[in-house]
Amino acid sequence: MAPPAPPTPAPTTPASPRLAVRAILLRQGRLLLVNAWKGRDHLWCAPGGGVEAHASLHENLRREIFEETGLTIAVGPPCLVNEFHDPGGSFHQVDIYFRCRITGGDPDADWTDPDGIVTHRRWVTRAEMASLTVKPDSLADVAWGDAGDPACYDALEPILR
């Protein structure tokens, strides 16, 4: 009897892109930004996060905004689809941005993200935002653009390391 053949390795498939939702929240001419990733306090983005299965994009966004800011929001129309990836790694994320408005909570209150990911928040003017490292690159143009503009698409933007 011949010895058993070694197992055939399973074919490797790249990981699927992660889907996330983010809020464009303007208040008194200022945009709400949060630190993008734990340990990268120099990098800013719009608040939001990963989508969980069996909940709509709007439900996911309301959950994420409450977790990160303590605010409740009304979710408006989508205004940007942005892709981030790490050209040297496996990270690939698709962010869908929605125009939102605050419906409850104190936008100036201290708040602790229960997951500990968001540790810094700030309301910035467009001029202040120009001096920050913000992703995606098109965020300021979209945030302060005409709300009637159709949604924008930013294809495959490299993420900062």
Give the N- to C-terminal CA distance of the chain in Å, as an integer. 55
Instruction: Report the pLDDT value the prediction gives residue 6, as an integer from 0 to 100.
Output: 61
Which CATH superfamily includes the segment(s) 18-158?
A: Nucleoside Triphosphate Pyrophosphohydrolase (3.90.79.10)
Instruction: Report the pLDDT value the prediction gives residue 3, as an integer from 0 to 100.
Output: 61
Instruction: Report the pLDDT value the prediction gives residue 119, as an integer from 0 to 100.
Output: 83
Instruction: Report the pLDDT value the prediction gives residue 40, as an integer from 0 to 100.
Output: 65
Task: Determine the Cα angle at 63 with ends 31 and 84, to 5°.
Answer: 60
Q: Where are the domains of the chain?
A: 18-158
96 contact partners, CB below 8 Å, separation of at least 6: 19, 20, 21, 22, 57, 78, 80, 81
Q: Which residues of 66-85 are buried (b: 16+ CB within 10 A; e: fewer)?
A: bbbbbbebebeebbbebbbb
Instruction: Report the pLDDT value the prediction gives residue 80, as an integer from 0 to 100.
Output: 93
Instruction: Report the pLDDT value the prediction gives residue 5, as an integer from 0 to 100.
Output: 62
Task: Determine the Cα angle at 27 with ends 107 and 141, to 5°.
Answer: 130
Amino acid of residue 26: L
Q: Are 109 and 91 in contact (CB under 8 A)?
A: no
What is the Cα–Cα distance from 96 to 35, expressed in whole angstroms?
Answer: 18
Which 3 state secondary structure label does DSSP give 140? helix
Residues of the chain with pLDDT under 70: 1-14, 38-41, 146-150, 154-157, 159-161
Q: How far is CA 94 from the centre of its chain?
A: 9
Quick: pLDDT tens for 84-115: 888 888 889 999 999 999 999 999 988 888 88
- Token pair, residue 7, equals 């197992």
